[in-house]
Amino acid sequence: MKSNRTKKSYKPVLLVVDDIEDNLDLLEFALKQKPVKLLRAKSGIECLRIAKDKTPDIILLDIQMPEMDGFETLQKLRDNPITSSIPVIMLTAHYKDPESIEKGFKLGADEYITKPVEIEELVVRIRMLIRMKHMKDELDQTKLDYMAMLIHDLRGPLVGITSVVELLKDLKPGAALRQEHFEMFRSADISLQQMLTLVNNFLDLSKYNSDAICLHQEPVPLHMLVEQALQKLEFQFKQKQIELEHRVGRDLPEAYIDAQKTLQVFINLLDNAFKFTERGGAVSISAELRNGTNGRQKNESYIGVSVTDTGMGIDTGEINKLFSPYQQTASAQSISEKGTGLGLSICKLIVEAQGGSISVSSDPGKQTTFYFTLPVAKQN
């Protein structure tokens, strides 16, 4: 469950640490009408105890204190796993020199404020740090969700391969292979390809996001790529009794593309259609020559490719999530064949890197169509 601290009505908890009680009283009075809940501590030791017990959202920490100053207190806060991630604003009147400020930041301070405290400035800083903390928490949760999906996606193929190996172990040396054994090999091969695709998607996304995508574009007959993709996926479509149709003519002009990366686009889109299409449904792929605007190119011929499935569809409000890595739509969460959300984001990167564009339209409960464009090879 999400913490109530993410709700708009929640008042962030501010722990103010200062050895002078009058300063604490003044701050408490000034913040009385502000959307902040105040906790008080009169020493570094008391700060550490309250921070551990109450885990405030923000700590406003005075530097100049007896026994344990703000720097030592900050160091102990950062050393404790319970308090290490709490944002800390250093409060200073005497330590305005660059060396002290640098020391605070090195120890893990998030902000500096000088005395006397401007209340409006403090409230703005608190809001900013709370927003940044929420963004970090969401990112951490996204990482955890992604790892869970990654493990799920890897576990499925591994279980399939293990089952095939266990069955084949029972074969006696020299025994003849029957038709069902060849079916097992085919099933194991599909599982291996699924794992390889997953690993490649993960590696490719990291590489492409670092602007390290390297294209080798050349004239390619598009029907050949489509046939390769269909051949790789044909068996699993048959197992699920999904009709697979392609209308990509041999008379279509050659596309100016990176063949292997564009093949990856076809496989990712067809695999996505497979996941969301129920048994007995249909998936079709078609391509045609068009004129107009294609990605970065205007008023030129291009090839438009459509991949359509008769699956559950996607709500209009969730379409924007589809091409973002690690995102899961409501429809994706409702099916047994979960995914990491990497495949579609990689399709977008590859298509746009080649000068094209990609989009999707959906009629929930009826069908979904992914549409992307590819440049046409120049005629000599």
pLDDT tens per residue across all 380 residues of the chain? 344 444 456 788 889 999 888 888 888 888 887 888 889 999 999 999 999 999 998 899 988 888 899 899 999 999 999 999 899 988 887 656 677 778 888 888 888 887 777 888 888 888 888 888 777 777 677 666 666 666 666 666 777 777 777 777 777 777 777 777 777 777 777 777 767 766 766 666 666 655 556 788 999 999 999 999 998 888 889 889 999 898 998 999 999 999 989 998 999 899 889 988 989 999 999 999 988 765 555 657 899 999 999 988 888 777 877 887 655 555 555 444 555 567 788 888 889 889 899 999 998 888 999 999 999 998 76
C-alpha distances in Å from residue 262, one per residue of 79, 225, 251, 267: 49, 8, 19, 9
- Whether the Cβ atoms of residue 235 and residue 186 lie closer than 8 Å to each other: yes
Q: What is the pLDDT at residue 331?
A: 55
Q: How far apart are the first and last CA of the chain?
A: 62
Look at residue 95 and tell me if it is in a domain.
Answer: yes
State whether 337 and 266 are in the same domain.
yes
Q: Beta strand pairing status for 282-294 and 358-363?
A: unpaired
State whether 231 and 355 are in the same domain.
yes
State whether 53 and 148 are in the same domain.
no
State whether 253 and 318 are in the same domain.
yes
Whole-structure pTM value:
0.52
Look at residue 275 and tell me if it is in a domain.
Answer: yes
State whether 68 and 98 are in the same domain.
yes
State whether 308 and 329 are in the same domain.
yes
C-alpha distances in Å from residue 79, one per residue of 50, 190, 236, 257: 15, 48, 52, 53
C-alpha distances in Å from residue 287, one per residue of 90, 217, 254, 302: 62, 19, 12, 10
Look at residue 1 and tell me if it is in a domain.
Answer: no
Q: What is the pLDDT at residue 2?
A: 42
Tokens of 153: 């996606």
Look at residue 149 and tell me if it is in a domain.
Answer: yes
SS3 state at 106: helix
State whether 292 and 345 are in the same domain.
yes
State whether 330 and 240 are in the same domain.
yes
Look at residue 128 and tell me if it is in a domain.
Answer: no
State whether 202 and 223 are in the same domain.
no
Look at residue 366 and tell me if it is in a domain.
Answer: yes
Number of domains in the chain: 3
Look at residue 94 and tell me if it is in a domain.
Answer: yes
State whether 112 and 235 are in the same domain.
no
State whether 278 and 316 are in the same domain.
yes
Look at residue 380 and tell me if it is in a domain.
Answer: no
**Rounded CA gap, 190 and 106, in Å?**
51
Range of the domain at 319: 219-375
State whether 15 and 73 are in the same domain.
yes
Q: Beta strand pairing status for 58-62 and 88-92?
A: parallel
